[in-house]
Structure 1
């Protein structure tokens, strides 16, 4: 408390100046009243003091209690958020582990597989991608010059160009080495179309290299036949050297004319160039009497170097039937099929093989899944227009 500013003398003087007060009560009454007041004071002063102390403690402690309450609430919220974060992280870790544990045979995890399973997850060219363009297919030797790989693209033809003109112009735009194949085009030859005789004229210079070595000779002759057969209805090739009839080959001798036969009735297999992850679908040189024989051959690696089996165990056939250019395949009830790249390529190998036997559509019955990559397995599937599509700018 603040110390009084009045001195004792000043207080006495002040009291003397105050008016006198006369108490007319009996002294005994005054004493009794004092006694009663004294007893009453003793009855309530202690609780009063206790109450005052309690109030004082209350006002002192309430802020602290509020602080602690706010702290407790904040901590509770933080703990809840922390638990939610831990739960979320736990779910992410669990999802990651699940994806890692479900990696397919190609080494692609579930998340990566989901990203990859799009409309572009196919190798061939289909009619919905053609638009107003024209398909061109080039047969390109692999890097070891052992097999010919068909690669297709789409070009726009104007009224002044025929297929051979477009074929020649596009040869220089091919990216064979980038695709894991041999740098083979453009050919060191002049190609012209004789529409009257339905013939393609092929003239090479005197210093051409196509007659040096059996692989070089075979690839040159076979690529000419396959290029012309795949892109036209021409049935004959005339060969000349610097305008003179015939081309001299070391192993075959001089050849002046080659008959072109339509491509078909071949089985398609997988080919993956060394050092790449690209898979091509390539037909064998052998042809088959029926599609059943072709499918049976596709279960094992062929004689051709670099090719591997394309009919994976997922496509275990119970029955095969052809009705009006429609191939109906009943899948074995025990077959297990996953939605992965390998199965997409296997289905395309079936489609391309079917195309070579004059099939227009393929229907899978009893398939374990309803969709495979971009393909709806509950509907008829059209065969491709051409294999191994590569767009060219």
Structure 2
């Protein structure tokens, strides 16, 4: 620093020449102000320091906080996504279960009452046996297929007959048939009035004046055949059907002309073949239109399809059969050499077709020899098997 050129005397003289300044404040006030200034802290200092510290702390911790937030958000998102997926899977499983239950209910319409065995992977009987009936009564209804080419016998067990006549129970329960659900043609109930004349072993059938059973050859043929087969299947004593139209004797049919009566004959000696309704893997058993002289001829017919009628061979799962013979109303067959025999539903139904065909020829039992399998479904092949009472069991309300 440059040294001042003013001497002390000169500075003193200069100050004397400056105007005089007087402080009019009270000395106590001046002292008080001086004391306060010594004690007073700057009001902004501590908050400022705290703010700076907080800011620094924020910058230090912010990345970790952000990572933690992201992790928490990601975990929450993942948990929600996982929960959503679980709900979606549950909904999907629920839908699959409902579809399976729906499919199961439709299949039950074709196969009767034993879906529990199917669900377990086993095979079921589709016909009616003595053990199934107990105190009830079996009724069989012949129902056209959707193309009206053949008739399928469907059997039911009615427990509450209340000592009514078979015809009363038969006509009452035809209203409960579920033909469409069973994959067949909706034909019942018959729009007729039926009365039983026990004295003459006759069923009186009265049709209304505007009946539809005379319109078309297929309708007429099915109408007459259904009446004959239904009555013959459910009563062994009825020999004749008498027709009337609105109380007037006779019925007019386009292709048959005027008809007053029809004989009822117990038809036997048919072979049983498979008919598959659409959507079902389990077939119905139904008879051939042809009859045969003996069971050997019928068994030969069971080995072939009848494609013009939509019928399939019913014996393929059991073939080859050997040493077919009949002794004392019992059919004996050998499965010797049949190493491809399988214990499944097709083989079970095939065996039932053999049992039903044996019944057609007045046989009461079937004995299987030389089988590589001890059982076919519920049938113990070491034992003789009684023939069924009727084919294609279905439940109705």
TM-score w.r.t. length of structure 2: 0.68
Pairing partner for 1:179 from 174, 179, 182: 182
Q: How far does residue 275 in structure 1 lie from its aligned partner after superposition? A: 3.1
Residues 249-264 of structure 1 correspond to what in structure 2 (within 5 A)?
249-264=253-268
Please, which runs of 5 or more residues in structure 2 have no aligned partner? 1-116
Secondary structure in structure 2 of the residue aligned to 1:343 = helix
Supply the RMSD in Å over aligned alpha carbons. 1.6
Q: How far does residue 113 in structure 1 lie from its aligned partner after superposition? A: 7.4
Q: How far does residue 276 in structure 1 lie from its aligned partner after superposition? A: 3.2
1:327 aligns with 2:324: no
Contact 1:192 1:201 (8 Å CA) reproduced: yes
Alpha-carbon separation, structure 2, partners of 1:291 and 1:371 = 24
Alpha-carbon separation, structure 1, partners of 2:164 and 2:338 = 53
Alpha-carbon separation, structure 2, partners of 1:320 and 1:352 = 16
Contact 1:317 1:330 (8 Å CA) reproduced: yes
Pairing partner for 1:116 from 99, 116, 121: 121
Query: 1:300 aligns to what?
Result: 304
Query: 1:359 aligns to what?
Result: 363
Query: 1:42 aligns to what?
Result: none
Secondary structure in structure 1 of the residue aligned to 2:354 = helix
CA deviations 1:339-388 (Å, max 9, x no partner) are 01111111010000000100101000001101011110110001011000
Please identify, of 310-319 and 380-389, the stretch whose mean Cα deviation from structure 2 is larger: 310-319
TM-score w.r.t. length of structure 1: 0.69
Q: How far does residue 159 in structure 1 lie from its aligned partner after superposition? A: 4.9
Alpha-carbon separation, structure 2, partners of 1:264 and 1:347 = 19
Query: 2:131 aligns to what?
Result: 128
Secondary structure in structure 1 of the residue aligned to 2:172 = helix
Residues 35-46 of structure 1 correspond to what in structure 2 (within 5 A)?
none
Secondary structure in structure 1 of the residue aligned to 2:195 = strand
Q: How far does residue 201 in structure 1 lie from its aligned partner after superposition? A: 0.7
Alpha-carbon separation, structure 2, partners of 1:169 and 1:113 = 31
Alpha-carbon separation, structure 2, partners of 1:350 and 1:160 = 34
Query: 1:162 aligns to what?
Result: 165
Secondary structure in structure 2 of the residue aligned to 1:351 = helix
- Change in Cα spacing, 1:194 to 1:113, as seen in structure 2 (3 Å) is closer
Contact 2:275 2:285 (8 Å CA) reproduced: yes
Alpha-carbon separation, structure 1, partners of 2:160 and 2:135 = 9
Alpha-carbon separation, structure 2, partners of 1:146 and 1:207 = 25
Pairing partner for 1:268 from 272, 277, 285: 272
Please, which runs of 5 or more residues in structure 1 have no aligned partner? 1-111
Query: 1:15 aligns to what?
Result: none
Alpha-carbon separation, structure 1, partners of 2:395 and 2:118 = 23
Contact 2:243 2:249 (8 Å CA) reproduced: yes
Residues 11-90 of structure 1 correspond to what in structure 2 (within 5 A)?
none
